Amino acid sequence: MKPRVFSGIRPSGRLHIGNYFGAIENWLKLQDEADCIFAVVDYHGMTTPYDPKEMMKEKYEVVLDYLAAGIDPKKSTLIIQSQVPEHTELAWILGTITPVSWLERVPTYKEKVALHPEYINLGLLSYPVLMAADILIYKSDIVPVGEDQLPHIELAREIAGRFNKMFGKTFPLPKEALTKGARIMSLDDPTKKMSKTGGGGILLSDTPEEIWKKLAPAVTDPARKTINDPGNPEICNIYSLHKIMSLPEQIKMVADSCRHAKFGCLECKKILAKNIADEFEDFRKKRKELEKDPERVQKILRVGAEKARQLASETLAEVKKKTGLG
């Protein structure tokens, strides 16, 4: 049997290169060797401030991004989380065996509380329980995510382990799959991760002009004040992106040119901008095509929800039986 894979992204905006190199790159690899379910996790999107009208639009945008990036509905199942209600039903059951202290220590909870002190809600605290349910409802073995999600995967494992101990072996203990670009930093503030809501990101759908507009003012080595100062590529966010996006000889050349002040940061960024624009040229074309065919996209989601509900209802029936509900 093929391993089962689950992963999802919040519909909080179009996808950026952090989402791509942190998660989607692995989704594309895994869809050839595993049984994959990829979701737009709209219930998770409700835990931070959002606009309902925007959310409707964003869900669709994220699905377009998935498809244009190469997620193939013939190989993978694509769903909108709220169209498979078994996720939330299982989340309630898992919530009853999850100590609150496990949730309070989750770093992303603390970060979101600091970011939106006016929006601290139960959903935000129990986010990792719903994420555990998203993963476990399909008995997933592998969860391809960016590095920031590791504490959530660890919790999903702990919750699965606790359930198995209390009610008998039911769930595999899911493992994360990380890419080499597991954490891409913000262009505006390289101490923070690139994010949909926090900004500092290049979108997969950005045109070459838009990419350049964002890259030109991006933060580099702060100690390098003029073109004649030698820079330190190891502390430069642009160099980190070169390491992911550029050819080995280009990476060597930009590092050398920076260290020996052979060129300025703008020249270095121009090479990167071109590489990003080229990498996502097909994406942009494919996305434009998909935008013209909303019915096709709706059909993919309908078929995905049906298939996912079939699998999810089997797990839920088993769980209900074991926990005295069935």
Catalytic residue among 59, 112, 139, 214: 112
Question: Does 145 contact ligand AQP by CB under 6 A?
Answer: yes
Cβ proximity to ligand AQP, 22 vs 231, nearer residue: 22
Binding span for ligand AQP by CB under 6 A among 18-26, 78-86, 90-98, 165-173: 18-26
- The yes-or-no answer on residue 288 being catalytic is no
Q: In angstroms, rounded to a whole number, what is the distance separating the alpha carbons of residues 130 and 94? A: 8
Q: Which structure tokens are listed for 112? A: 């979101």
What mask of x and - would describe binding to ligand AQP in positions 171 to 190, judged by CB under 6 A?
Answer: -----------xxx------
Query: Tokens 């190199």 — which residue?
Result: 21
Query: Which one among 139, 157, 193, 269 touches ligand AQP, defined by CB under 6 A?
Result: 193
- The yes-or-no answer on residue 165 being catalytic is no
H/E element, 39: strand 35-40
- The yes-or-no answer on residue 53 being catalytic is no
238: phi then psi, degrees, rounded to nearest 5: -65, -40
- The answer for residues whose C-beta is within 8 angstroms of residue 101's C-beta and 6 or more apart is none
- The answer for residues whose C-beta is within 8 angstroms of residue 126's C-beta and 6 or more apart is 91, 95, 98, 103
The amino acid occupying position 146 is: G
Catalytic residue among 2, 74, 75, 193: 193
Q: In angstroms, rounded to a whole number, what is the distance separating the alpha carbons of residues 145 and 155? A: 14
Query: Which one among 10, 87, 157, 242 touches ligand AQP, defined by CB under 6 A?
Result: 10
Question: Does 196 contact ligand AQP by CB under 6 A?
Answer: yes
Binding span for ligand AQP by CB under 6 A among 115-123, 170-178, 192-200, 301-309: 192-200
Q: What is the CA radius of gyration of the chain?
A: 21
Give me the residues that bind ligand AQP (CB under 6 A), please: 9-10, 12, 18-19, 22-23, 145-146, 148-149, 182-184, 193-198
Residues annotated catalytic, as ranges: 112, 193, 196
